[in-house]
Amino acid sequence: MAATKRKNKIKNWLSNKFRVSIFNDTTHEVLFTFRGSGIISIITLLLAIVFIVGSVTALISFTSLREFIPGYPSAESRRTLIQNTIKLDSLQNEINLWRLQLVNIQRVVKGQEPVKIDSVLSLEQYKEYILAESPDFSKDDSLLRSAVLKEEQFNLSAQTQKIEQIEGLHLFPPVNGVITQEYNEAINHPYIDIAAPENSVVSSILDGTVISADYSEQNGYVIQIQHDNNIISIYKHNAKLLKKVGDIVSAGSPISLVGNTGNLSTAPHLHFELWHKGKPVNPVEYIKF
């Protein structure tokens, strides 16, 4: 009984007439009206869905809109890929040609007839032959390398001599100014103070890497640079730091600005320290101020 009522209800719904209208909310003018039975409405809706899906698919397939899809390669990417493939193929032919020439040299030395090819395009058919005839360079190279390393193990003259001295190096002055307090280890002053106008540029004395760049209440903004040959330079009381830890700096490049920061500073100046092999040295002996 319930099933019969449900079927009758569906049949009545499909046979009913429906009307969809679009009105102008201001003038109440009817702009569009669609009339149809339930079946026609369903068919119209399905056709509309098919049309929308088909239109979107056509736009994506035959227009440049597909390039906006994440992961879809652009025309430039495809062009670059094709060019790289062509270059790779040319390089492979070049390698095969050089291998074949090497094989021919070996065959001539042995008194054998060299292999002849008509063109570079026919290299592919000789690929297996080339690989079969080519000598095993990797094995010979490894044996030669082992022999050389064994002979040179105790040869001190062949080892790299690393410079561990500061003399002879060209060190840039950290700032243009006047030395107001000299280096004096006797009075616990293993550094120099250089008076300079505030915000003057402070430069690195050598190529190096920033190992510290921070602020303390006593010394203000401080930057430390590790250089080759076990040399470390320290710059204190800066107004601003221009580099951060890990930055690679070159000799003479700006690293900070002269300031008056920190409790130990009484006027704009640069507190400069130079360390070599863990010991302070007098910068005046190596830098021309």
Higher pLDDT, 276 or 166: 276
**Averaged pLDDT, 35-58:** 78
Residue 224 lies in a domain: yes
Higher pLDDT, 142 or 245: 245
Number of structural domains (the chain) is 3
* Same domain assignment for residues 56 and 98: no
Q: Is 199 left (phi over 0), alpha (psi -120 to 50) or beta?
A: left
* Same domain assignment for residues 210 and 243: yes
Residue 54 lies in a domain: yes
CB within 8 Å of 34: residues ≥ 6 apart: 19, 20, 21, 44
CB within 8 Å of 74: residues ≥ 6 apart: 67
Whether 256 contacts 243, CB under 8 Å: yes
pLDDT recorded at residue 1: 60
Structural domain boundaries, residue 79: 74-135
pLDDT recorded at residue 161: 43
* Same domain assignment for residues 78 and 34: no
pLDDT > 70: percent of the chain: 68
Residue 165 lies in a domain: no
In angstroms, how far is CA 265 from the centroid of its own chain?
Answer: 41
Q: What's the pLDDT band for 12 if we cut at 50, 70, 90?
A: low
pLDDT recorded at residue 13: 63
Residue 225 is part of a domain; what is its CATH number?
A: 2.70.70.10
Residue 169 lies in a domain: no
Long-range contact list for 186-189, CB < 8 A, 24+ apart? Answer: none
Q: What are the pLDDT digits (tens) for 66-90?
A: 666 665 666 677 778 788 888 887 7
Out of 94-103, 141-150, 155-164, the most confident range is: 94-103
Q: What's the pLDDT band for 8 if we cut at 50, 70, 90?
A: low
* Same domain assignment for residues 118 and 184: no
pLDDT recorded at residue 156: 47
Higher pLDDT, 94 or 122: 94
Q: What's the pLDDT band for 131 if we cut at 50, 70, 90?
A: low
Residue 253 lies in a domain: yes
Residue 172 lies in a domain: no
Measured CA to CA, the distance from residue 72 to residue 59 in angstroms comes to 15
**Averaged pLDDT, 132-160:** 55
pLDDT recorded at residue 110: 74
Residue 113 lies in a domain: yes
Q: What are the pLDDT digits (tens) for 199-248?
A: 999 999 999 999 999 999 999 999 999 999 899 999 999 999 999 999 99
pLDDT > 90: percent of the chain: 38
Torsion sign, CA atoms 131, 133, 138, 141: negative
